[in-house]
Amino acid sequence: MSEKQNVITIDGPSGVGKSTISRKIADSLGFTYLDTGAMYRAVGLYLGRHNVDIADEKAVYAALAAIRIELFTIGTGFGDVGVLLNGEDVSQEIRSPEAAMVASQVSAIPAVREKLTRLQRTIGEQGGVVAEGRDTGTVVFPLAKHKFFLDARPEERARRRVLQLQARGEVVDEKQILAMTIERDKNDRERAIAPLKQAGDALAIDTTTRDIEEVSRLVLEAVKGKQAKV
């Protein structure tokens, strides 16, 4: 049997609490937090800024060669993940709902997934990584030691997104956020390559009625070998 990798994967749709939970788990285990969505967001930003036609495979391929992405931690503890796009700090810009939608669109492009999967695996090679995204347990790290799949009702996920955006001082249209959440899910679940889905060996946790503390506890218990009651 192939050897397992010292990686924890946390996949699921947007708004299930993946980022906060992944950061907490990484922090309590002293692991590196790998936010794969931030990478797709940065690629989407670059292609948009350079008016690259995402239906033009050759143009996308050429543009990708000019993209360098680095992740860094903003602050200490479970601070947000920041992104350097060719050395420029784009951490704020990539977090808008529009940037999320563009990320979802470009994430269906094979060349984009190839480049980012390679980068993610390089980071994972060092071990001690909590990887968060859509395909980290199925495609990027199939041999990860621990895999989780978080899900929640779309209305609840959209409600959380609204609160998050409002906390940042943004004016939001709740109906539009729900519609964008549903559309992005559909894109992510139905694309041909590496769609969002639960790995066969992942533990599924529904976070609709569970708070961050409870979900983090369940994840940590499972990692430490205790039987998690989900």
Q: Binding residues for ligand DC, per CB under 6 A? A: 14, 36-37, 40-41, 100, 103-104, 107, 133-136, 184, 188
Instruction: Return the number of the residue (107 or 216) whose C-beta is nearest ligand DC.
Output: 107
How many C-beta neighbours within 10 Å does residue 171 have? Answer: 6
Q: How far is the CB of 173 from ligand DC (least distance, A)?
A: 19
Instruction: Return the number of the residue (115 or 134) whose C-beta is nearest ligand DC.
Output: 134
Q: How far is the CB of 43 from ligand DC (least distance, A)?
A: 9
Check: CB of residue 45 under 8 Å from CB of residue 149.
no
Instruction: Return the number of the residue (115 or 184) whose C-beta is nearest ligand DC.
Output: 184
Instruction: Return the number of the residue (137 or 222) whose C-beta is nearest ligand DC.
Output: 137
Phi, psi for 157 (deg, rounded to 5): -65, -40
Q: How far is the CB of 171 from ligand DC (least distance, A)?
A: 21
Q: In whole angstroms, give the CA distance from residue 181 to residue 158.
A: 6
Give residues with Cβ within 8 angstroms of 69, minimum separation 6.
39, 42, 43, 83, 84, 85, 116, 119
Instruction: Return the number of the residue (98 or 226) whose C-beta is nearest ligand DC.
Output: 98
DSSP 8-state code for residue 122: H
Q: In whole angstroms, give the CA distance from residue 143 to residue 19.
A: 21
Q: How far is the CB of 169 from ligand DC (least distance, A)?
A: 20
Q: How far is the CB of 135 from ligand DC (least distance, A)?
A: 5
Instruction: Return the number of the residue (119 or 222) whose C-beta is nearest ligand DC.
Output: 119
Q: In whole angstroms, give the CA distance from residue 45 to residue 48.
A: 5
Check: CB of residue 36 under 8 Å from CB of residue 116.
yes
How many C-beta neighbours within 10 Å does residue 4 have? Answer: 11
Q: How far is the CB of 79 from ligand DC (least distance, A)?
A: 16
Distances (CA, A) of 112 to 91, 103, 153: 19, 10, 29
